[in-house]
Structure 1
Amino acid sequence: MNPVTLPDAEWFDLAPPGGGAPWRIFLARPQGEAPAAGFPTLFMLDANAGFATFTEVLRRGAVRPAATGIGPMVLVGIGYPEEDDARARRHFDYTAGPGAEGSARPTGGRDAFLAFIEQVLKPRIAREVPLDPARQTLFGHSLAGWFTLDVMARDGGAFAAYVAVSPSLWWDEARLDAGLALPRAVPPRLSLMVGEWEQALAPWQAERPEAGEMAARRARRAMVDRAQGFAERARVTLGPEAEVRFERLAGEDHASILPAAMARALRFALAA
């Protein structure tokens, strides 16, 4: 059998200056000539777990932009080589320190990871394809969603728009709230999505052997209430010039929400 390939997509490994563990970078280019200002770009975290799906959603949507609200853009995925312990690395990259529930894995790599994106990755991609620096979006799910909100709150100028899907606010909600109060030059655009069944058991999960433990964890983390509350606080704190959207996606849980959120994220990224 022949392997399936993604048209106009590629990957390469990129290490930080001075050496260190590389990140695996995935790149999907749009066809056709770039606009005068360059292509809009979406940077996807946890790319090992969905870059191909995201690329296909973008490709299909861009065929009929008038109907879908999705047009040509560059998709950049940030992931890890297959031989790496991705769970350990993402816990380090996406966090500023230990979370409320503690962690057996190292944490606190947030600043170094953002510096890699800003100082190494963005210039490298810009040498490959023209990018519009004023139309760049950061997309993160779960713990990567916490990172996305933290960058929006504390380094808002890094991207023009932010999409946080099922963000793990429970990790360190106080830091995110403190970041909202910091001064910023440009009001951000934020889309925050969470699944209906992220705070309680979905009907198909109720009979599972681990249902009791799952229900207790979901109640403790309160993903839906926390996400909605953060969106409301962001609207008030960031002021009327900021754009803050909140959506609770019916029928989805923490895992199933990811593909359901992708078309919405692309439309949001391109709407400015």
Structure 2
Amino acid sequence: MSELEWKTAGIPWTKQLTMTATGSGQAYRIYLAVPPGEAPEAGFPVMYVLDANSVIGTVVEAVRLQGRSRNGQGSPAVVVGLGYDEEIPFATARFTDYSLPMPIDELPPFSRGGEWPRQGGADDFLRFVLEEVRPVVESMVAINRERQAIFGHSLGGLFALHTLYTRPDAFFAYIAGSPSIDWYKRLILAEEQEFVSRLQRGGQPKQLFIGVGEEEETHPTRINEHARGVAERLGVFGDCGLNVSFEQFARENHISVLPVLISRAVRWFLQSV
């Protein structure tokens, strides 16, 4: 038998670069997946994805498969992955970038052992995404600025809610998977109340999708209870342009829920654009 030659298998349509945030000096790995062919007249919708080191391939494949037009050609959305310049699925820096400024003494013991990383970097990270990453993306691809989404899971789900509450103008659609509300409950509920106080009838349409796994019902941080509570409280503001969807996925836990959550969230987003 002749010697076999293996080649690196890449994610279709996807390239990556390393960017260093101006403020923090943190290095990020940014993924950009662009469908082949011409952009729609209004530009491509785009989904920004947190924790890209762990999920970028799954998200791109979901968009590539579900977004095909009837003739089987193309896909209607661009995917921007926001990851870290290292090889592990979940970098420690996410505990800074996705978190609210909760005092360390109000948090439980750090799940990875040792001291908690610095808290409260969510606003700095959001500025990096909106003011540094987004201009690079828009310089390379024709983007529909009115149809952009952000997807986050766990601590990333908390970040998605924080972004909705504090910068509702930043995206059209917000996807919060299994959001880590309990650790930051005091702060995120205060942000929710302030957000609700600003809602007005006939406001600009916004979409919120919240998804959890059925087996997270027994999670010590009461993920499902908190997530369902958000959906119920915000779900009454449809006349203010806020459309809320909640879904619980059977027999899935905090990590196993990711593929089905991504598939459902991509379908939900593509149908909304």
Which residue of 212, 215, 220 corresponds with 1:197? 215
User: Which of the numbers 99, 107, 112 marks the counterpart of 1:101?
Assistant: 107
Q: What are the equivalent positions in structure 2 for 1:119-130 lying under 5 Å apart? A: 119-130=131-142
In structure 2, do the counterparts of structure 1 residues 85 and 46 end up closer, same or farther at CA, with 3 Å as the change threshold?
Answer: closer
Q: What are the Cα deviations for residues 49-91 of structure 1, in whole angstroms up to 9, with x where unaligned?
A: 0101111121122235699xx9420000000011689532100
Q: Displacement, 1:240? A: 5.1
Match of 2:158 among 122, 139, 146: 146
Q: Distance between the aligned counterparts of 2:89 and 2:264, measured in 1?
A: 30
Residues 1:26 and 2:31 are matched in the alignment? yes
CA separation in 1, counterparts of 2:221 and 2:238?
25
Q: Distance in 1 between matches of 2:29 and 2:19?
A: 6
Say if 1:156 and 1:186, in contact at 8 Å, map to a contact too: no
Instruction: State the aligned residue count.
Output: 252
SS at match of 1:88: coil
Q: Measure how far apart 1:18 and its partner are.
A: 6.0
Q: Distance in 2 between matches of 1:66 and 1:150?
A: 39
- Relative to structure 2, which stretch is displaced further, 140-149 or 227-236? 227-236
1:147-182 CA distances to partner (integer Å, 9 max, x unpaired)? 001111111111000011111111212322222233
Distance of 1:131 and 1:238 partners within structure 2:
27
Q: Equivalent residue for 2:265?
A: 265
Identify the residue that residue 252 of structure 1 maps to in structure 2.
Answer: 252
Q: What SS does the corresponding residue of 1:32 show, helix, strand or coil?
A: coil
Which runs of 5 or more residues in structure 2 are unaligned? 1-5, 111-115
Cα–Cα, structure 1 residues 76 and 232, in superposed 2: closer, same or farther, change >3 Å? same
Contact 2:35 2:75 in 1 (8 A): no
Alignment partner of 2:48 out of 16, 19, 43: 43
Structure 1 Cα separation of the partners of residues 86 and 125 of structure 2: 19
What value does the CA root-mean-square deviation take over the aligned residues? 2.3
Superposition pairs of residues 13-92 of structure 1, within 5 angstroms = 13-17=18-22, 20-63=25-68, 71-82=75-86, 87-92=91-96
Say if 1:194 and 1:247, in contact at 8 Å, map to a contact too.
yes
2:170 maps to 1:165:
no
CA distance in 2, matches of 1:241, 1:66: 33
Task: Tell me the secondary structure at the aligned position of residue 236 of structure 1.
Answer: coil
Q: Does 1:176 align with 2:188?
A: yes
SS of the residue aligned with 1:13?
Answer: strand
What residue identity is the alignment partner of 2:84?
Y
- Quote the Cα distance in structure 2 between the aligned partners of 1:12 and 1:31: 19
- Give 3-state SS (helix, strand or coil) of 1:191's partner: strand
Alignment TM-score, normalising by the size of structure 1: 0.85
User: Percent sequence identity over matched residues?
Assistant: 35
Please say which of residues 161-170 and 13-22 is displaced more in the overlay: 13-22
Q: Secondary structure of the equivalent of 1:190?
A: strand
Q: Which of the pair is proportionally richer in helix? A: 1
> How far off is 1:271 after superposition?
2.6
CA contact (8 A) 1:92 1:107 kept: yes
What letter matches 1:188 in structure 2? K
SS at match of 1:63: coil
Instruction: Give the aligned partner of residue 115 of structure 1.
Output: 127
For residue 263 of structure 1, report the CA deviation from its aligned partner: 2.0
